[in-house]
Structure 1
Amino acid sequence: MTTVPAIEQPATERSAAVPTAAGRPRRRSHSRRAGTPYAFLAPAIVLFVAFLGAPIVYAAYLSLRKVKVSGLGLGSGSRTEIWAGLSNYARSLTDPEFLPSVGRIGAYGLIVVPVMLGLALLFALLLDAGRTKVGGFTRTAIFLPYAVPAVVASLLWGFLYLPRVSPINDVLEGIGVGSPNLLGSSWILYAVANIAVWGGTGFNMIVLYTALKAIPQDMYEAARLDGATEVQIAWRIKIPIIAPSMVMTFVFSLIATLQVFAEPMTLRPLSNTISSTWTPLMKVYRDAFTRDDIYSAAATSVIIALATFALSFGFLKLVGSRAFRQED
């Protein structure tokens, strides 16, 4: 009896016949690599949802609710939360103190944003041009006010604003120059704006100065060979190149302007010209914690958030195509 010898399969057929031995580990390793970025992003996503996303959703929910009081409002079932629709928004927009607070914020922004960004650009250009002998100390001195909390800065400036205790007033009176009442109704807007300019110029200067340091030095050397002055180099080369950074700082400053709260709130005990609704966020604070009307406060907060988004997005659509054209 003869036996039939076993036919040995080629190596390619053996590997094709049993793909699981080599295929599964590769798929697992690929899936692990694909999930690694999400593992690193998970803590930030959780914190964002817990401390920013969820409060926004909850505020939007509260803005559509209100409390219905039955009888005299006594007892456990006398107050019930019901659907309010858009009535809270209508009440916030028709509040006689809302539009004046918006007007003050608009005037405040017209002072703060141009002055702050103009000084930041000027300091960044001077530092980049090498006009200062102590560049490191100068950068730190300009940036240092940004590290001071807004409440502390407001208290410091409030001390300097008080006519009876301010050393500035003593110096001015010593030389025979009268000093204005910076906490009065005519100067309070400029007093609050000065605190914001003093604290925010350093941050914007660092952003613009970092963008300037990224420009190749060859461009400056070529311009100098063509006879360009430092002013011409700054105007025709530096400023157009750092336009995206200027747009970014403008958007940040715009958002901060719409959310101003700490400075006027801290100065309020020092002056009777700052009301409890001097800014929209101060109105939110009054409605929520003084009047115990969290529903109206939530509606005003949503209005401020929508206005911030609309202005920021509108500005980016207006100038973004020109400023970021060189990034494409």
Structure 2
Amino acid sequence: MTTVAPPTDVTRAPRTAARNRRRTGRFAPYVYLAPAMTLFTLFLALPIAYAVYLSLRATKVSGLGLGAGAKTEVWAGFDNYARALSDPDFIASVVRVGLYGLLLVPTMLGLALVFALLLDARRTGAKSFSRVSIFLPYAVPAVIASLLWGFLYLPRVSPFYYVFDLIGWDAPQILSSQLVIFAIANIGLWGGVGFNMIVIYTALKAIPSELYEAARLDGASELQVAWRVKVPIVTPSLILTFLFSMIATLQVFAEPMTLRPLTNTISTTWSPLMKVYRDAFVRDDIYSAAATSVIIALATFVLSFGFLRLVQRRAFSQENS
């Protein structure tokens, strides 16, 4: 009868080491993710949760509101949301931002696509210089760009108005109530074309050159190659840039806020985020500001998600094929 010897320390050690390595490897991804998740929780998730909490609260004033305990924080439910959605200032700001987006986004993406196609053309010279020149305005902060353009809009200090006066032309008042939306859109256009151009141009450089050569052998001109080969292939990049531009449009703040001291045609509630700023830091109504912020965030999410659902088949058909 054969007997099996019990495992010795020599044979047990490799098994224990392998088990420990598997156990360590199981927790390794969480160790790498821990710093990012900690920062996400502290600086994004918790502030969002606190804003939602504040949007459901309100201040109750007792008597004349003087003395300790005269103002108490109470539960308000959805009253702040109802007041925000029925506020004429908020509705007007949403309409203005909608018009601003209709002016800015198609023009900006159209120019970005044209510049990217021109830089990708075979006969284009000085590509590096042109690429940097188009992208450079994006590197200028929005506040600085708004100040620069704001002084160019002022008739007393703008060199453009001086030239128009010498010629004898009547220059339009860019900061008037009818044209101020074009003035703000121009600043966004000046700064946003370069970024979107780089995204589209990068996608164009990833297209195999064999596709261009095959199209040219079939008799296609450069314009036909651009319209029928390049544009369809970079459609996912156009969708991405449109999504980013739409989100940036909903969050426009720096441009009108910087131009506001230069003219009286921009109100404190010109954009939804300006209304949030006024409610929080001018009127000291942090609860209404929190409710408006949550509404803006939800609207941004719904529009972004709805747009991606609408175009997902077109956007991801190339990746799935």
The question of a shared fold, defined as TM-score above 0.5 by the shorter chain, is answered with yes
Identity of paired residues, percent? 65
Structure 1 residue aligned with 2:204:
212
Q: Which residue is equivalent to 1:250?
A: 242
> What amino acid is the match of 2:277?
Y
Residue 286 of structure 2 is matched in structure 1 by 294
What is aligned with 1:318?
310
User: Is 1:68 equivalent to 2:60 in the alignment?
Assistant: yes
1:111 and 2:103 equivalent? yes
C-alpha separation in 1, matches of 2:50 and 2:122: 51
Secondary structure of the residue aligned to 1:165 is: coil
Residues of 2 paired with 1:43 and 1:161: CA distance?
46
Name the structure 1 match of 2:152.
160
Partner of 2:184: 192
- Taking the aligned partners of 2:19 and 2:224, their CA distance within structure 1 comes to 59
2:45 counterpart residue number: 53
What is the TM-score with the length of structure 2 in the denominator?
A: 0.95
Deviation of 1:80 (Å): 1.2
Report the Cα distance in structure 1 between the residues aligned to 2:11 and 2:92, rounded to whole angstroms.
Answer: 74
SS in 2 for 1:324: helix
d(CA) in 2 for partners of 1:202, 1:266: 22
Q: 1:35 aligns to what SS in structure 2? A: helix
C-alpha displacement of 1:36? 3.4
Change (3 A) 1:143 1:35: farther
After TM superposition, give the deviation of residue 18 of structure 1 in Å: 8.4
TM-score normalized with structure 1 length: 0.93
Report the Cα distance in structure 2 between the residues aligned to 1:198 and 1:112, rounded to whole angstroms: 10
Q: Tell me the secondary structure at the aligned position of residue 170 of structure 2.
A: coil
Q: Tell whether 2:16 aligns with 1:27.
A: no
1:319 to partner: Cα distance? 0.8
Return the alpha-carbon distance in structure 2 between the equivalents of residues 47 and 25 of structure 1: 34
How far did residue 75 of structure 1 move? 2.2
Look up the SS of the partner of 1:247 in the other structure. Answer: helix
Alignment partner for residue 165 of structure 2, among 159, 173, 181? 173
Q: Counterpart of 1:3? A: none
Q: Is 1:237 matched up with 2:229?
A: yes
RMSD: 1.9
Q: 2:251 aligns with which of 253, 259, 270?
A: 259
| Aligned CA distance change for structure 1 residues 206 and 34 (closer, same or farther; 3 Å) | farther
Distance in 2 of aligned mates of 1:258 and 1:106: 8
Deviation sequence 1:156-206 (CA, Å, 0-9, x none): 000100011001111222223221110111110000000000001111111
Deviation track 1:140-162 (CA, whole Å, cap 9, x = no partner) reads 11111111110000000001000
Report the CA distance shift for 1:174/1:106 in structure 2 as closer, same or farther (over 3 A): same
Letter in 1 for 2:172: P
Distance in 2 (CA, whole Å) between partners of 1:300 and 1:19 is: 67
Deviation at 1:9, TM superposition (A): 4.6
Aligned residues: 320
CA-CA distance at 1:47 after TM superposition: 1.7
1:142 to 110, 134, 137: 134
- Which residue, 268, 271, 274 being the options, matches 1:282? 274
CA distance in 2, matches of 1:28, 1:130: 59
2 CA distance for matches of 1:62 and 1:260?
23
Instruction: Choose 70-79 or 274-283, whichever is displaced more.
Output: 70-79
1:87 and 2:79 correspond:
yes
CA–CA separation in structure 1 for the residues paired with 2:82 and 2:243: 28
- Which ranges in structure 1 are unaligned for 5 or more consecutive residues? 1-5
Q: Is 2:96 aligned against 1:133?
A: no
Correspondence for 1:226 = 218
Equivalent residue letter for 1:86? F
Deviation digits for residues 269-292 of structure 1 (CA, Å, limit 9, x no counterpart): 001000000011000000000100
SS at 1:80 equivalent? strand
Secondary structure of 2:88's counterpart equals coil
CA distance in 1, matches of 2:23, 2:202: 38
Q: Return 175-184 or 160-169, whichever deviates more.
A: 175-184
Secondary structure, aligned partner of 2:59: strand
CA distance in structure 1 between the partners assigned to 2:230 and 2:266 by the alignment: 41
1:79-108 Cα shifts (integer Å, max 9, x gaps): 111110000001111112111111000000
Q: Structure 1 residues 235 and 272 mapped into 2: Cα distance closer, same or farther (>3 Å)?
A: same
Q: Cα offset for 1:20?
A: 4.1
Q: Distance in 1 between matches of 2:238 and 2:197?
A: 10
CA distance in 2, matches of 1:116, 1:32: 50
